[in-house]
Amino acid sequence: MSPRPSLAPEVLVMAGGEGRRLGALTARTPKPMLPVNGRPVLQHILEHLRDQGVEHVFLSVRHLSHVISDHFGDGRRLGLRIEYVVEEQALGTAGALGLLPPLTRPLLVVNGDVLTPLPVAALTAHHHEHGAAMTVGHVEHRVTVPYGVIECAPPDVLRLREKPEVVLTVIAGVYLLAPEVVAGVHLGDVVAMPDLIETVLASRRVVGFALPGPWLDMGTPEAYARADQFAALTTAAPTAVAAGAGA
């Protein structure tokens, strides 16, 4: 087991999503409990966080929460201390922050329909080095335009690109928040993470952190069918896999 990083954050794994896009797969099983290579995806995540030195994790739960708490209990079996924060009603993708106790360290928030190597120590160091109130993990996402694209200086056509690939920088479902940002979300607040990012951007520094990839959004049946091949990433220290909630 790796030593606990000196700048280790608190950790909140968002595990309360209903997984509606996964249809019947999540009718009786919470999305974070779907099996990947024979174990719940959430177990892969927690074990990997532990192997990076994380000792304490908050789990935000709502949909079929008893399935999660019955499986993991207090976390002792995994060598962790797990505390549950229960959303009695849907609070949005960031509202669970209002259920946490006061924090003195940054909070790492990871979403549960995402698999990606997550270097916790490097992310935390980056956050501190740049004096950020919030650090947003991001990855490249490539989209192929299914048409020919032309560039014009009307009425002239200057250039043609047939089915070009567009590279976008997308939010990866990984966030590191300063304690004062967490404290700004109050008990019962319904908050979406994009709105929280916009609020922090208005007055504080928000920086990005490029995750090394690969990255998989596990929110659809097609993506879930590919999840097993990503499970091996959870054993590749010093990385972690992000998971939590979603639609």
Q: What is the pLDDT along the chain (247 residues), one digit of tens a residue?
A: 443 445 679 999 999 877 788 888 888 888 889 988 888 888 888 888 888 888 999 999 998 999 999 999 999 999 999 999 999 999 999 999 999 999 999 999 998 777 878 899 999 999 999 999 999 999 999 999 999 999 999 999 999 999 999 999 999 999 999 999 999 999 999 999 999 999 999 999 999 999 988 888 888 888 888 888 776 654 444 444 444 333 3
Q: Whole-prediction pTM value?
A: 0.87
> 10-235 domain in CATH 3.40.50.2300?
no
Residue type, 32: P
Instruction: Express the helix, strand and coil content of the chain in percent, nearest 5 each.
Output: 30, 30, 40
pLDDT at 153 (0 to 100) = 95
CB contact at 8 A, 45 and 243: yes
CB contact at 8 A, 135 and 201: no
Cα distance between residue 146 and residue 131, in whole Å: 42
